Amino acid sequence: MYTVPKLSVKEKDIVETWSSWYPNLDIHEKGHGQLAKEFAVKIDKALATMKPRENCNILESDANKKAYRLMDELKEANKQYDARTNHGESQ
């Protein structure tokens, strides 16, 4: 689910601009959603393949490190996606 702005004016020129811009925004946000889904799978696989640890605290710490590293990669992937698409303008 995506929360996006709703147009609340009726002026023809604004409606025309919005109508030409909005589809790109929708595509763009779905692209961010797809990146998030891909990284969720990566995180799931990384955690599922972890070997046993000495204790739960070590396991938790190592799992968090893996997940946070992948979240950092997701942040970078989103930045690159925004730069590549000019925040959806070129989609």
Cα dihedral: 53, 58, 62, 68 (round 10): 150
pTM score, whole prediction? 0.85
Contact 54, 22 (CB under 8 A): no
Residue 91 has pLDDT above 90, yes or no: no
* Joined tokens for residue 29: 């946000």
CA distances from 26 to 18, 44, 46, 89 (A): 12, 27, 30, 11
Q: What is the C-alpha separation between 49 and 78, in angstroms, rounded?
A: 26
Q: How confident is the model at residue 86 (pLDDT cuts 50, 70, 90)?
A: very high
- Residue-wise pLDDT tens digits, 13-67: 999 999 998 999 999 999 999 999 999 999 999 999 999 999 999 999 999 999 9
Q: What pLDDT, on the 0 to 100 scale, is given for residue 60?
A: 98
**Which pLDDT does position 68 carry in this prediction?**
98
